[in-house]
Amino acid sequence: MSNSRTTAAETVPETVIAPTFMKDFLALIKIGIVNSNLITAFTGLFLAFQFANINFVHRLDLMIATLFGTALIIAGSAALNNLIDRDIDPIMTRTRTRPTVTGRFKAPAVLAMALGFIAIGEGLLFSANATAGLLGLAGVFSYVVLYSMWSKRRHVSNTIVGSLSGAIPPLIGWAAVEPSLGFGALALFLIMFVWQPPHFYALAMKKTDEYGAAGIPMLPVVKGFARTKKSMLAWVVLLFPLPFLLSELGIGFLILATLLNVGWLLLALKGFSAKDDLKWATSMFIYSLNYMTILFVSMIIFSIFI
């Protein structure tokens, strides 16, 4: 009779272990946030090429370095956020299975990986130019320090503070082509900044009990649903004039953007008579995702014809 012991890992087929590792890794770097921010970064990059009459095919090296560098600093920042929040994440259903909570990824390894990603990403951005690199550092600082370490647990304005970092990727993309930036870059920044509060307030409404239990002072937790609905409406209204800052994209884009804004406005107004606040908040959240995707993809499409 053999005295050897078989570990649990040895009894699990490799086909199960590998997908679990990849799932944990993607959760650690918040792949959804990485992908959505890459859409906006690419939009800034592409619009800058188009407005400057530069064929992007001739600068594929710049495009790859900028997008890969942006992806790395976002992934690294997200991993640091998970590391910082590992004491409160177990309280919330949507975060309790993160690898920093379960222990499948150890803190020293996460820290080393996150800092490594940020260092490599910044190297790629600085290889484009100093402006892109500095904007990358500003994005990391605003998300990790200003949001994750400072405002998230202390101030009801944490969502607005966090919106700063989410609005920087299109600036990075634009700066890689045009370091002096421009009016178009400002427009993209403002659109992304204003879009985020109603998007995240909708999520916060859905998870109010969990945020409250975790001690995170989100607007619905501190001020209630009625106040949150008013804030969401105000932010949606602020979106209306912003597409006109990109009037170079043509009347077709302005009509589409305005229709998207009208649709979101009507949905926001519907919230004041909604019988099921959580169902309405889910609709607002889904609309916000579609809004951002359609708007930024349409910018790319319309820019081809300017």
Amino acid letter, 149: M
Average pLDDT over residues 233-262: 97
**Within 13 A of 127's CA, how many CA atoms are on the CB side?**
16
Quote the CA–CA distance of 243 and 256 in Å, as a whole number.
Answer: 10
Residue, of 17 and 110, whose pLDDT is higher:
110
35 has pLDDT over 50: yes
The dihedral through the CA atoms of 233, 292, 193, 248 has a sign that is: negative
CA distances from 91 to 87, 110, 151, 219 (A): 8, 21, 19, 18
Quote the CA–CA distance of 248 and 143 in Å, as a whole number.
Answer: 31
7 has pLDDT over 50: no
In the chain, where the domains are located = 16-181, 182-306
Q: What is the pLDDT of residues 219-240, one digit of tens each?
A: 999 999 999 999 999 999 999 9
Quote the CA–CA distance of 102 and 242 in Å, as a whole number.
Answer: 43
Quote the CA–CA distance of 132 and 73 in Å, as a whole number.
Answer: 12
Q: What is the pLDDT of residues 61-97, one digit of tens each?
A: 999 999 999 999 999 999 999 999 998 989 888 888 8
Q: Of the given ranges (52-66, 87-101, 110-124, 259-273), which has the lowest mean pLDDT?
A: 87-101
Q: Quick one: pLDDT at residue 162?
A: 96
Average pLDDT over residues 122-145: 98
CA distances from 224 to 152, 162, 198, 219, 264 (A): 17, 20, 15, 7, 21
16-181 architecture in CATH? Orthogonal Bundle (1.10)
> Which residue, among 190, 192, 249, 258, has the nearest Cα to 47 in the 3D structure?
249
Q: What value does the mean pLDDT of the chain take?
A: 92
Quote the CA–CA distance of 284 and 305 in Å, as a whole number.
Answer: 32
> Which residue, among 279, 185, 290, 288, has the nearest Cα to 235 in the 3D structure?
288
At 56, the pLDDT band (50, 70, 90 cuts) reads confident
At 19, the pLDDT band (50, 70, 90 cuts) reads low
